[in-house]
């Protein structure tokens, strides 16, 4: 990947590949909208997947015949490994423990997986196993929201393959000696075991059919193979590239428009918007902070200097701050975005966040309004108001991520933590 240095291949100061990339995505949005590609692809794939899901019901019921409270608890806890609350704590921990490059790439990979996986879910709009007869176990609020999404592919299987696989690859490439073959074999075995348990757990909990899990694993292997070959170029671009923040802002905006419309409302678009905001916040924060040099190749503290007490102090200070920043970012976006849109003459409405903009008597879920609005805008229908909640959600998570890589590390440096 070229960073656009030395002014070569630029157009009005913008590297040529960046402009071509954004134009290509815009062209795809207009073409797919004009040809109705989402509906055509769904009409071909959805019936076949739905039949497979129905035919696999006996398999799901057979696995669930091992019904036991310990299994319910074990697989419910295991599912939390790839949940949003887990990454809310795990990814900042990586950043603040002097593993900046790994943390950046894990975050961007998570956003990439979330976008591709959820886009495929809503593109195909294939059902989960029918309940009843299948027993669906949703022990947490996150699981109840996950159950509102479509089935194919399994996001848990997809994320487990990508994130555990990439973590193992990163450790082998950067931390282990070539002769540490036994450790490598153990790591690979643990990754395989974790993926197998996650896949089995999703079926046991009644959240997915076998085809959903296989689809998630297959898609995860594909994404992981791609990411292993490009993440070094991506990181170099984020650290030292040209026009990074502006390009990523344009990319994030176009990805919101390119997302396929689901057959029925689901929370998938909401999740994608949040992770896209996180990715933008990470990228812009790294660009803005002079600390990105120390969070890249050379940590400010050596592993021996970063004691458990210092790391605990960072977590106790940092986690409340990023949550406060998230709250403030949301409040600021709720106030500023309607004003900005009105000043630009953009018709807006709100499904949830701004009561004054909510249509009277509307019971439609926010996600469905966001999807419909985005695609009508992409089809150049100016009379359709834009759901401002999409921008609010994007900005609040971008603010949270920015605070993780810029604001909080600056406080650590000031306090010598």
Using alpha carbons only, what angle is made at residue 247 by residues 241 and 249, rounded to the nearest 5 degrees?
130
Is 208 assigned a catalytic role?
yes
The confidence band for 43, taking pLDDT boundaries of 50, 70 and 90, is very high
Is 292 assigned a catalytic role?
no
* Contact assessment for residue 104 and residue 286, using Cβ atoms and an 8 Å cutoff: yes
The reported pTM is: 0.83
Q: Which member of 68, 99, 156, 414 is catalytic?
A: 156
The confidence band for 295, taking pLDDT boundaries of 50, 70 and 90, is very low
DSSP 20-31: HHHHHHHHHHHH
> What does the pLDDT read at residue 178?
58
Q: Is the peptide bond before 197 cis (omega within 30 degrees of 0)?
A: no
pLDDT above 80: residue 373: no
Tokens encoding 294: 């120390």
| Euclidean distance between CA atoms 350 and 12, whole angstroms | 36
> What does the pLDDT read at residue 367?
43
Contacts of 49 by beta carbon, 8 Å cutoff, 6+ apart = 124, 126, 151, 152, 211
Each residue's pLDDT tens digit, 8-22: 455 555 678 888 988
CA distances 261 to 60, 113, 364, 389, Å, are: 29, 18, 15, 17
> What does the pLDDT read at residue 49?
93
Q: Helix, strand, coil: what percent of the chain each, to 5?
A: 70, 0, 25
Each residue's pLDDT tens digit, 248-259: 999 998 998 888
pLDDT above 50: residue 7: no
Q: What are the residue ranges spanned by the domains of the chain? A: 12-306
Neighbours of 75 (CB within 10 A): 20
Q: Which member of 99, 169, 208, 414 is catalytic?
A: 208
């Amino acid at each position: 990947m070229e960073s656009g240095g030395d002014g070569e291949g630029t157009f009005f100061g913008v590297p040529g590949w960046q402009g071509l990339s954004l134009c290509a995505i815009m062209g795809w949005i207009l073409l797919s909208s004009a040809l109705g590609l989402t509906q055509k692809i769904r009409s071909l794939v959805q019936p076949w997947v739905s039949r497979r899901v129905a035919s696999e019901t006996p398999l799901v019921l057979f696995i669930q015949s091992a019904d036991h409270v310990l299994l319910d608890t074990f697989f419910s806890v295991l599912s939390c490994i790839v949940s949003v609350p887990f990454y809310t704590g795990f990814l900042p921990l990586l950043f603040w423990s002097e593993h900046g490059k790994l943390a950046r790439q894990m975050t961007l990979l998570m956003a990439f997986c979330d976008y591709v996986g959820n886009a495929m879910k809503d593109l195909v709009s294939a059902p989960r196993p029918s309940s009843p007869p299948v027993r669906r176990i949703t022990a947490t609020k996150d699981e109840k929201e996950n159950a509102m999404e479509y089935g194919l592919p399994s996001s848990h299987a997809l994320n487990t393959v990508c994130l555990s696989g990439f973590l193992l690859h990163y450790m082998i490439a950067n931390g282990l000696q070539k002769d540490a073959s036994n450790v490598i074999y153990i790591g690979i075995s643990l990754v395989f075991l974790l993926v197998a348990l996650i896949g089995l757990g999703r079926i046991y909990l009644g959240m997915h059919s076998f085809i959903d899990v296989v689809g998630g694993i297959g898609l995860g292997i594909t994404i992981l193979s791609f990411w292993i070959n490009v993440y070094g170029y991506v990181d170099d671009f984020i650290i030292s590239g040209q026009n990074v923040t502006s390009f990523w802002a344009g990319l994030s905006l176009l990805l919101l428009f390119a997302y396929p419309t689901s057959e029925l409302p689901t929370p998938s678009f909401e999740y994608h918007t949040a992770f896209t905001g996180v990715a933008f916040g990470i990228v812009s924060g790294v660009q803005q902070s002079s600390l990105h040099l120390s969070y890249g190749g050379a940590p400010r503290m050596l592993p021996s200097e970063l004691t458990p007490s210092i790391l605990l102090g960072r977590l106790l200070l940092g986690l409340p701050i990023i949550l406060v920043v998230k709250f403030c970012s949301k409040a600021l976006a709720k106030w500023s975005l309607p004003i900005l849109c009105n000043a630009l003459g953009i018709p807006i409405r709100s499904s949830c966040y701004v009561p004054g903009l909510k249509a009277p008597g509307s019971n439609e879920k926010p996600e469905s309004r966001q999807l419909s609005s985005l695609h009508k805008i992409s089809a150049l229908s100016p009379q359709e108001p834009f759901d401002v909640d999409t921008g609010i959600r994007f900005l609040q998570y971008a603010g949270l991520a920015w605070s993780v890589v810029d604001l909080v590390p600056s406080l650590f440096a000031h306090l010598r933590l």
